[in-house]
Chains A and B, each alone.
Chain A
Amino acid sequence: MKIMNRRKFLKKAILFIPAVGVLRRLVGDAHGKATAEGYDPANHLYGMGIDIDKCIGCGLCIDACKNENNVPKEPFFCRTWVERYVIKKDGSVVVESIETGKEKGRQKTNEADILRSFFVPKLCNQCENPPCVQVCPVGATFATEDGVVLVDSKRCIGCRYCIQACPYGARYLHPETRTADKCTFCYHRIVKGLLPACVEVCPTQARIFGDLKSMASRLVRFKRTKRIHVLKPHLNTEPKVYYASLDGEVR
């Protein structure tokens, strides 16, 4: 009889230990939701405006982003980048990323042949219908209530399906963490009321960050006063990065 009891006790003890582990994990997850004090994501919906006419292609936004978010310095890993478009009189178009352009050697165009030229900053479009979130097999990529698509680097298995699914090339595999990485609108800053790093450093205010739920935000005014367009609208991703003066050549 005694032996039976001991056996029962051991059985229950063996079950108890993992059960406590699971419970602790669940409790921890429930607590892990805290953001900045007094911040309620339900009251916000973030987006960004890009005023193409104002961008001078200085690349400060790229550096600021890389410094702020521990993005590798090499130009093959980008949360944001700037494309330089040169449209020639004969209709041909030369495009390069200003960062990789530096590495590859800039393509010179004879000034007399140029019809027009401009810069286009690119970043994650924080889509309303994000294909990357749809394809993530483990739910590591998710959209927050306030409209930002984030990656949980502790959950990401590094299958790279999201990188394939993004129509904008906005994702890369971080070589250190071996997980998918992308623009977060500097989520750690915006929940504290700060601007994303790229917006903060832009000398010409070509990037306009704001809350679509606040009528007083600069972004809402930008959307009202400019003729805006989004990238690849036919894919129905519903981007929340809005471009003013977007040229038809930009994809």
Chain B
Amino acid sequence: MSEELTQKLSELLREVTGFIYPNEVEIHWSILIVVYPYITGLVAGAFILASLVQVFNVREVQPTYRLSLLTALAFLLIAPLPLLLHLGHPERAYEIFLTPQLGSAMAVFGFVYLWYLMAVLLLEIWFEYRQNLVVWSRQEKPPMSWLHAALSLFSRDISERAVEFDHKAIRVITVIGIPSAFLLHGYVGFIFGSVKANPWWSSVLMPVVFLMSAIVSGIALVIFLYMVLTPLRGAQIDMKCLDKIASYLFYAVIVDFTLEGLDFIHRLYESEESIKILSTLVTDKLFISLWVIQILLGMLIPLAIMVAVKSLKFNDELRKLFYFVSVIMIQLGIFATRWNVVIGGQLFSKSFRGLTIYKMDVAGVEGLIVALGLLILPFIVLAILLKILPPWEATEAREGAVR
């Protein structure tokens, strides 16, 4: 057995306050399991933003439509990695697909994930890009023409009827996609919310709170990417679009804040057996990550900024600056939300008599470096996707047509 682990646990034991069950000294779900719901949340959020264009016909958001879809795909492709790396036996991960125990919320992962990837995202992206892919493959030189031809699955028909069909298909997929995106992240919340042994997790609101915070983080991410990428390729940021998305973000943050507040008040008011240890948890172990980062920096200050932007007439540059600062703070706040759920839920003993601590490794599979790598990886995937499937041309062409 690794002496390192023993030594680490001995050190942790000395920092335990009160009484915890002996098997609770080791924190079982580490930083990787914080990264996982964070990433899937971004997927669900980005997709729901994209759906606004298709289902609710919000034309202003059109410039970010394809970007949102590709962002969702890039993050979805990486989403299983933290889970896989965290397993004691990653080589047996396929069992979850082949012999799932369907009573387990976690076993449904395989199906929800594949459904979302195959039936929703890939299909929608394919229909959205099909016309472009055909055109590109005709205009370009190999090897890009080959790649685009292959990605179009060698379809050639770009007659009006065919394109019309593409648009219809996209609408249908989006309508199916919204509940699927809800399912994808709602079920992640359910994995935590259904653990009755853990009063910090066990809440019927958990899937809903996860979902709302997912929407918040996804929208914030797309705003961030749009604001970074547009100047990079020498184009102008569409302020109408930005204002519109920012106002969606504003409402999403308000709903998210309300739900979390409800959860908090409900716990406090019911004041069950676990209330004492949970109070110690939030005032001591989670003080910085919950009150300072999640609530103050991640919610209240961005909300205040956006209220100011809405009520005062700032010029474009100032608004951009405010939006940019807000989305970064919101992103930080949502990451802290995931941290507080996953890590926070393991810091107190199920005997309700004591608290342990989590010391993150720096190196090692479950360490900080791997976690950062996993957070950077989707951006690299996105960069590749943006190269292969440039999302800008169609948007600009469409805008040109409108003008």
Contact = CB atoms under 8 A, between A and B. Distances in A.
What secondary structure prevails in chain B residues at the interface with A?
loop
Interface string A75-106: 11110010100000000011111011001100
Nearest to A139: B101
Given A76-B23, A251-B352, A251-B353, A159 B86 contact: yes
A41 interface: no
Contacts, number: 142
B350 interface: yes
Interface in B350-370: 350-353
Contacts of B234: none
A223 interface: no
B197 A164 contact: yes
B349 A169 contact: yes
Interface string A105-147: 0000000000000000010000000010111111100000000
A176 B99 CA distance: 25
Interface in B72-90: 83, 86-90
A169 B22 contact: yes
Given A104-B13, A135-B104, A175 B21 contact: no
A159 B87 contact: yes
B28 interface: yes
B14 interface: yes
Contacts of A163: 23, 28
A167 B21 CA distance: 11
Nearest to B25: A76
Interface stretch (A31-39, A49-57, A150-158, A201-209): A150-158
A155 B104 CA distance: 15
B29 interface: yes
A29 to B, nearest CB: 11
Given A95-B353, A159-B106, A131 B95 contact: no
Given A157-B93, A158-B89, A136 B104 contact: yes
Contacts of B96: 137-138, 157
Contacts of A188: none
A236 to B, nearest CB: 8
Contact of B87 (A94, A157, A251): A157
Contacts of B88: 156-160, 173, 177-179
A77 B10 CA distance: 12
A221 B356 CA distance: 40
B198 A164 contact: yes
Contacts of B197: 131, 164-167, 235
A240 interface: no
A104 B356 CA distance: 14
A12 to B, nearest CB: 24
Contact of A175 (B5, B24, B104): B5
Interface residues of A, number: 51
Contact of B350 (A94, A137, A168): A168
A100 B89 contact: no
Nearest to B354: A95
Contacts of B90: 157
Given A169-B21, A235-B197, A157 B104 contact: no
Nearest to A172: B23
A178 B89 contact: yes
Contacts of A187: none
A139 B21 CA distance: 26
B351 A95 contact: yes
Contacts of B2: 175
B355 to A, nearest CB: 13
Contact of A164 (B28, B83, B352): B28
Contact of B13 (A81, A93, A100, A173): A100
A153 to B, nearest CB: 9
Interface in B134-185: none
A158 B352 CA distance: 26
In the A-B complex, list the 4 residue pairs whose CB atoms are closest, starting with the nearest: A158-B88, A169-B21, A178-B88, A167-B197
26 contacts: A76-B13, A76-B26, A81-B22, A95-B18, A95-B19, A103-B13, A137-B107, A138-B92, A138-B95, A155-B92, A156-B89, A157-B89, A157-B90, A159-B83, A159-B86, A161-B104, A161-B106, A164-B29, A164-B197, A164-B346, A166-B197, A167-B196, A172-B23, A173-B28, A178-B88, A178-B89
